[in-house]
Amino acid sequence: MRFTHINIETLILVAIWEEPSIFQGCFKISTLQSKYEEYFFFRCELSNSMSIDFPVHEFYPDDYYFTHFYCKEEKLGLDNGSESIEYALYILKYALYITIKEMLSHRTQKHQFLYMDDIVLESLIQKIKPILNQNSLWSESMKEIGFAVAMDFCPQEEMAEIAVQTLLSHFSEFTA
């Protein structure tokens, strides 16, 4: 079986540190061998995030729940119980976990408050609009907003390849 290697970049745009913690952002999935890119926008609730050792505790995928998940302008239903979707969600939850862990290790205080006025909010919306419209993808201006971490994912087994193919097919049913 030939495996598809991908890169997952997780951009967190909003972090709310209350129980449950809420994160909103975008996953950029790109293949390492070609120039294929896919974008998923999400809202995720994280339970048990208020524990003092959150940055160092083990990854528990059941603590992460995607309440909203979009590919382009289409809301994706992720609750159908399909194994391939569960595999793909596991990878994205892990990528989000790594990003949150990195974000916390680069900040002096876990609970920072961010205030935005209408001008800043409008500027943020204008920077994200091209991605939503697929006009121009991840650009230099995107480096100025949010917090992002990228990681390569190189499957070594069939289950992992199914997860990758599910991501690349916009969460369509995929079986080997």
Spans of all domains in the chain:
6-168
Instruction: Identify the pLDDT of residue 45.
Output: 93
Does residue 61 have a cis bond before it (omega within 30 degrees)?
no
Helical pair 83-105 and 158-168, crossing angle rounded to 10 deg: 80
Quote the tokens at residue 153.
Answer: 């994912």
Helices (H), the chain: 83-105, 118-132, 158-168
CA distance 37 to 55: 29
Residue 170 has what DSSP assignment?
A: T
pTM for the whole thing? 0.76
Residue-level pLDDT, tens digit, the chain, 176 residues:
788 899 999 988 888 878 888 899 899 999 988 888 888 999 999 987 666 556 567 888 999 999 988 887 777 877 777 888 899 999 999 999 999 888 887 765 444 444 445 565 566 666 666 655 555 455 555 555 667 788 888 888 999 999 889 888 877 755 44
Instruction: Identify the pLDDT of residue 175.
Output: 47
Residue with tokens 């995107």: 142
Instruction: Identify the pLDDT of residue 93.
Output: 95
Instruction: Identify the pLDDT of residue 115.
Output: 46
Helix (H, G, I), strand (E, B) or coil at 133: coil
Instruction: Identify the pLDDT of residue 143.
Output: 53
Residue with tokens 């540190």: 17
Instruction: Identify the pLDDT of residue 29.
Output: 92
Instruction: Identify the pLDDT of residue 73.
Output: 72
Please, what is the end-to-end C-alpha distance for the chain in angstroms?
10
